[in-house]
A and B are shown apart, each in its own frame.
Chain A
């Protein structure tokens, strides 16, 4: 894919510059000429959508910083002032707050698409791992950003999450103290979170550049998961995918605009419009929706350190996924059994998110009396999250490795241009990948 460049400088200046800094060549190879499989569907547009999300967050964030005061006595009021007195401050702030949610909507779809079409498999392991690091940084950035308005959920969410790190033996307490800048969540905590919240997005931007670089070395995967074989299989990125991504980005913007203009607070929590008060704990401390599955995993484990390890492990397992998956077929289009387990996995992830928003001891089916198992009633959200957590890990650690060895995939097309097999009758069942194809 990273074939030789076809860029030809047209003007004298371009020729002069190309010999000194081939930046125009790089842009041309990346965004214009880049050969892209012609069968990408709309699930492939979320990369572009995510790039736009990052830009929106950085631009609105920098404007917010011009008005925000990172001090426990002024942070909440300064955010209200942005909403009330800064020209279009309400727009900037609601874009930034809802933009975080939109960013996670897009990233979850992007990750799901990866899992379904096996895009993480060789030769795209590094591309995938960079993506996992970006996701991890996004979570850290979103968490610290949520602390900055210094409302009740900001404060108590920060207390709960930073206390988690104290669970680690020996170093835990020191890490927590370092993070707090003292012995409790207070002004130093707010200040360092603010500094890091400003720093991390630029680290994300740097990693995005590496992500795109890695993508352009190995090229796009595609819905049938078969490597590009010939020029027939590809179209240049521009105008084919600039226009398709552009359309998808605009549709996504319509959804974004709905939240910003007509329902800006629906994704947040009312308690965060109460100024932080360390002495009053909200009745239910819940993180933002995009953290709920991990919050449920954390609470599913009855041991504090165990819960923290499970929570981090749920993300950590993604990093080694390319080596856990033993199947040579990339796309689940041709793996009906894997597809079934994958859809159950998606259901488990949504169930976890749902459980994360509920009180652990509340019954799942109201009114149904059940019996106590170990420490909680079986008919409770904590047991439902345990079940889903078990499946979450089993999917990656047991089902994915075993399925690749045992399942019989459907015949895979020869190439992107010939999605219908030319000789289906002569292809023996299970003969999926000729060695040179590598899946």
Chain B
């Protein structure tokens, strides 16, 4: 507690002294076109389904998504929404996808810990039982929860895509510790590990090795499974997971805008009429 207090006080002082180190800035993420951009944008359902598969087969071995429930997959705007099943708990895809996954529970008779197939009411299970286990298995780094990652990083899906395709060999003169991986899109400060000439390289190091490789995931719709395709699809899936109500928000917004515009016009006309005889 005391140590934390001292650290916090030191932090406050450091900020006040304005002595923040001029960190190197990471590379700007590549700007992609997404189907869900703009006021009328919608998610591409096929892309979300492919993205879910990438998450399920690759990312989920380390990353939790504890805010996403299986039922969300079948909600309006979700990857497996089907207008025949307005209640996502009835959606056979959702039920089958959930049943594929084992989740921890207790035996209601004995209280013993058990594993059972997930239902639509379960959230995506976490790959590690606790934070220490997550760190232990990942060289001290904790894989962040991906439920809201798309909102929690500057650049959102563009950043996620760029990071996933962005792994390159470190430039000569950059010392990379074992278990670390260089990525020019990852924010960090490489000044301390740079012995080369010229500017410190952009980017930073992270514990996650390049997770994707060609054909690592087989897409059911026959889409060619390149790293770029997988990255793009999983980034779209994560954008949906962070904002599952985006389509509802935008369609509500359209109605609200039309209503407000008409009302504004009417009130403006009344204003002109009421003030027509007042010199002002």
Contacts and interface: CB of A to CB of B under 8 A. Distances in A.
Interface in A232-262: 235, 239-240, 243-244, 246-247, 250-251, 253-254, 257-258, 260-262
Interface in A396-421: 417
Contact of A39 (B17, B257, B280): B280
B8 A261 contact: no
A262 B250 contact: yes
B16 interface: yes
6 contacts: A39-B280, A84-B244, A163-B8, A270-B153, A270-B154, A382-B18
A361 interface: yes
B152 A270 contact: yes
A8 interface: no
A247 B9 contact: no
Nearest to A263: B39
Contacts of A284: 20
A71 interface: no
Interface string B10-31: 0111011111101100000000
A359 B20 contact: yes
A341 B154 CA distance: 38
A307 B67 contact: no
Q: Which of B1, B8, B268, B275: most chain A Cβ within 10 A?
A: B8
Contact of A361 (B11, B22, B249, B263): B22
B151 interface: yes
B267 A247 contact: yes
Contact of B16 (A240, A260, A281, A307): A307
Residue picked from B13, B17, B250, most chain A C-beta under 10 Å: B17
Contacts of B5: 183-184
A22 interface: no
A361 B20 CA distance: 7
B75 to A, nearest CB: 9
A326 interface: no
A298 B2 contact: no
Interface residues of A, number: 58
A156 B20 CA distance: 15
B264 A247 contact: yes
Which of the listed residues B67, B154, B244 has the most CB atoms from chain A within 10 Å of its own CB?
A: B67
Contacts of B261: 254
B278 interface: yes
A243 B252 contact: no
A256 to B, nearest CB: 9
Interface residues of B, number: 53
A159 interface: yes
Interface in A146-178: 156, 159-160, 163-164, 166
B264 A261 contact: no
Interface of B: 1-2, 4-5, 8-9, 11-13, 15-20, 22-23, 39, 67, 72, 144, 147-148, 151-154, 156, 187, 242, 244-245, 248-250, 252-254, 256-257, 260-261, 263-264, 267-268, 270-271, 274-275, 278-280
A328 interface: no
Nearest to A304: B16
Contact of B275 (A156, A240, A285, A298): A240
A131 to B, nearest CB: 25
A339 to B, nearest CB: 22
Contacts of A382: 18
Q: Please list the 5 inter-chain residue pairs (A to B) with the smallest Cβ-Cβ separation, ordered nearest first.
A: A261-B253, A163-B12, A273-B152, A360-B18, A250-B264
A265 interface: yes
Interface string A320-340: 000000000000000000000
A151 to B, nearest CB: 8
A271 interface: yes
A271 B8 contact: no
A137 interface: no
Nearest to A232: B279
A90 interface: yes
Interface string A352-378: 000000011110000000000000100
A123 interface: no
A274 interface: yes
A184 B1 contact: yes
A302 B19 CA distance: 10
Contact of B256 (A166, A257, A278): A257
Contact of B257 (A185, A244, A261): A261
Contact of B18 (A39, A278, A299): A299
Contacts of B274: 239-240, 243
A80 interface: yes
A80 B72 CA distance: 14
B67 A260 contact: no
Contact of B278 (A38, A80, A247): A38
Contacts of A261: 39, 249-250, 252-254, 256-257
A77 interface: yes
Contacts of A362: 22
A361 B278 contact: no
A66 interface: no
Contacts of B242: 273
A77 B147 CA distance: 11
Interface in A262-302: 262, 264-265, 270-271, 273-274, 278, 281, 283-285, 298-299, 302
A132 interface: no
A182 to B, nearest CB: 8
Nearest to A242: B274
B245 A278 contact: no
A83 interface: yes
A159 B8 contact: yes
Contacts of B248: 90
B244 to A, nearest CB: 6
Interface string A381-392: 010000000000
Contacts of B264: 247, 250-251, 254
Given A160-B11, A284-B20, A285-B15, 18 more contacts: A38-B278, A84-B67, A84-B245, A90-B245, A90-B249, A156-B11, A160-B12, A163-B8, A184-B4, A240-B278, A247-B268, A250-B264, A271-B152, A273-B242, A299-B18, A302-B18, A359-B20, A361-B20
